[in-house]
Chains A and B, each alone.
Chain A
Amino acid sequence: MSNNSKLKILTNGILAENPVLRLVLGTCPTLAVTTMASNGIGMGLAATFVLLCSNIVISALRKIIPDQVRIPCYITVIAGFVSVVQMIVKAYVPTLDKALGVYLPLIVVNCIILGRAEMFASKNGVVDSALDGIGMGIGFTITLTIMGTIREILGSGTWMAGLGGLIPSLGSDFAIRVIPESIDSFSIMTSAPGGFFVFGIMMAGATWLTTRPKKEKTVQPAEAAEGGNA
């Protein structure tokens, strides 16, 4: 297999097969934790770790696991790694543990991880599966961070508040103020309806980016374009 196809596996997850926006997997954590951009980063990294490890183990065991009981086997492997992440996060980043709450153990039932185990790791080699895990994880993290950024800036006017919990040297009250406090924040963005709304808009954006017709070499006459819009 050439290097080119390895690179393609890695970059596939970022836009073309973005797990959240294109495959529509793992929607629950996407909506729930993205009230702040820093939560998105934390959740993304935790899920990436689980995804990478479970993909490696499952693809290494793919010839041993009997077909009839494969789902319980996958879930056990995934649950093991999720417990590891839970303990690490609780010990070293307690603020993130508080912010993510029940959604941290719920990585077990995140369909991205089981989905990639079933669709990719059970059919491909260890190296490819690891690359796939990293690529999907990066795509997940980027999507969550962008969504968190939109919701946090509109909803509370700050950016990256709580990042101090992830990187202690920044101090615990680190936040970048984007919209001045004198302007009322659009608080519905950080509550449930805003989550659905921003997710819908982002999914439409991703669909537009991946399916729009490629620009033609010859520039269309201006009148024709205007006529089309009218």
Chain B
Amino acid sequence: MALKLASIFFTMILVDNYVLSKFLGICPFLGVSKKLDSAVGMSLAVTFVMVMATAATWPIYRLLLVPAGMEGTDRDMGYLQTIVFILIIAILVQLLENFLKKFIPALYKALGVYLPLITTNCTILGVTILNLDNGYNFVESIVCAAGAGIGFLVAMVLFSGVRRKVEQAVTPVCFKGLPITLVAAAMTSLSFMGFGGIVEAIFRV
């Protein structure tokens, strides 16, 4: 059990990294990775919301929308998944913002500007839907969400370092800014392909 959880966790960070191999959350990846501290702040906020959103959506889907044994019957309300999940995420982000503002003002100041952006971050909705598609149980889903968040953090931190070098490089005029950044992202993603198979080899699952 512990081995399976560890393998899910590290697979999400290294092999199935959401940003570099599944293309989720590219907008914040390109937008907020210019500075190291904002990259870390954004990723921590995303990780937190991801775990919270998974903890909220998994029981709602399994207990309310599609209760066990009700698949395919009239009681199956799986088609409401998208609309219910996005509303839950929007509410969670709003709650979190109010909570932090009131009780942990220091953290609110650090994360404040990123919080509203998180609602439309596709990694959050993506991880909640993929957890259910993969048939993970509750604990596995939480671990998977945490792994996805840490994977996002790793990609952001690594890429903010790459980006600092790229900004100073001399490039053709039409490549200035984003195009050359994307080419650099291609290299970063290529290096992550090297992790393929490493988790199976370590944990033997």
Contact = CB atoms under 8 A, between A and B. Distances in A.
B86 A75 contact: yes
Interface in A84-120: 86-87, 102, 105-106, 108-111, 114
Contacts of B182: 196-197, 199-200, 203
Contact of A31 (B26, B174, B178): B26
Contact of A75 (B22, B119, B122, B174): B119
Nearest to B81: A105
A28 B26 CA distance: 6
Interface in A70-87: 71-72, 75-76, 79-80, 82-83, 86-87
B27 A111 contact: yes
Contacts of B180: 200, 204
What 7 A-B pairs are tightest by C-beta distance, nearest first?
A: A200-B182, A196-B186, A204-B179, A208-B174, A32-B23, A197-B186, A79-B83
By DSSP majority rule, is chain B's interface helix, strand, loop, or mixed? helix
A193 B178 contact: no
A194 interface: yes
Interface of A: 24-25, 27-29, 31-32, 71-72, 75-76, 79-80, 82-83, 86-87, 102, 105-106, 108-111, 114, 188, 191-197, 199-201, 203-205, 207-208, 211
Given A109-B119, A200-B181, 20 more contacts: A29-B23, A32-B22, A83-B80, A86-B79, A105-B82, A105-B125, A109-B125, A111-B120, A191-B193, A193-B187, A193-B190, A196-B183, A196-B185, A197-B182, A197-B186, A200-B182, A203-B179, A204-B174, A204-B179, A205-B174
A28 B122 contact: yes
Interface stretch (B39-47, B96-104, B126-134): B126-134
A192 B26 contact: no
B186 A193 contact: yes
B179 A207 contact: yes
Contacts of A102: 126, 129-130, 133
By DSSP majority rule, is chain A's interface helix, strand, loop, or mixed? helix
Contacts of A71: 90, 116, 119
Query: Looking at chain B, what size class is its interface with the partner chain?
Result: 35 or more
Interface of B: 20-27, 30, 79-83, 86-87, 90, 116, 119-122, 125-126, 129-130, 133, 172, 174-175, 178-183, 185-187, 189-190, 192-193
A106 B122 contact: yes
Contacts of B82: 79, 82-83, 86, 105, 108
Contacts of A208: 174
A114 B178 CA distance: 22
B33 to A, nearest CB: 13
Nearest to A107: B82
Nearest to B176: A207
Contacts of B30: 24, 27
A189 B23 CA distance: 14
A75 B192 CA distance: 34
A24 B129 contact: no
Contacts of A27: 23, 26-27, 30
